[in-house]
Amino acid sequence: MRPSTQRAFLASILAATLGVAVSGCAPAVLGGAVIGSMVALDRRTSGSQLEDEGIELRSGSRIREQLGDRVHVNIASYNRQVLLTGEVPNDKDKQQVEQIVSRVDNVRTIVNELAVLGNTTFAQRSSDALVTGRVKAGLIDAKDLYAGAFKVVTERGVTSLMGRVSLREADRATDIARSTT
């Protein structure tokens, strides 16, 4: 191969490689922008948000390790306050889940709303997700509320709101959640 042909060949390989490398960065850049804006819209510090995420992940992992698939537990943490929702087969498991979560670092308080029931169906969980979405949309539509200040959880048709808000904001958000069907 002649040197000029060889250079052209190497240049085209380099361009193709850079094209692939740069295209791989686009999702990372966009993902970083989305995460960055989510952090900015929350009233908690980024450290507090990270701590809450860690509480949720560690709690879920420990519950799965010790209780497996016989329980359906959702963990929501906001400012180190943990809300447990879902279903467990008996009171012993309900207490065990709470004990597991209480041993996770940085957990301040636990609200145990676990029900002693069989696991909800896919249709029930889908309905709960739809209600959560509607409540979130109602909070976004409310011009007098900062929707990013709320975490919304719906389980078995019961919607819970968590957040760092004023009494007026809490009352207004509660009215929105109650009127959402």
Q: What pLDDT sits at residue 10?
A: 41
Q: What is the pLDDT of residue 1?
A: 56
Q: Which residues pair with 74 in a beta bridge?
A: 85
Cα dist. 13→4, 7, 16, 24 in Å? 14, 10, 5, 17
CA 21 to chain centre: 30
pLDDT at 4: 52
pLDDT of amino acid 43: 84
Give the C-alpha separation, 94 to 87, whole Å.
Answer: 8
pLDDT value for 52: 97
pTM equals 0.74
Distance CA 30, CA 19 (A): 17
Comparing CA positions, the residue from 70, 175, 151 lying closest to residue 114 is: 70
What pLDDT is stored for residue 20 in this prediction? 41
Which of left, alpha, beta for 79 (phi over 0: left; psi -120 to 50: alpha)? left
**pLDDT digit of tens for each residue in the chain (181 aa)?**
555 544 444 444 444 444 444 444 444 444 444 344 445 568 889 999 999 999 999 999 999 999 999 999 999 999 999 999 999 999 999 999 999 999 999 999 999 999 999 989 999 999 999 999 999 999 999 999 999 999 999 999 999 999 999 999 999 999 999 999 7
Q: Would you state the pLDDT for residue 70?
A: 93
- In sequence order, what DSSP letters do the residues of the chain get, joined into one string? --HHHHHHHHHHHHHHHHHHHHHHHHHHHHHHHHHHHHHHHSSS-HHHHHHHHHHHHHHHHHHHHHHGGG-EEEEEEETTEEEEEEEESSHHHHHHHHHHHHTSTT--EEEE--EESPPPPHHHHHHHHHHHHHHHHHHHH-TTS-GGGEEEEEETTEEEEEES--HHHHHHHHHHHHH--
User: What is the DSSP track for 125-147?
Assistant: HHHHHHHHHHHHHHHHH-TTS-G
* Joined tokens for residue 23: 């295209």
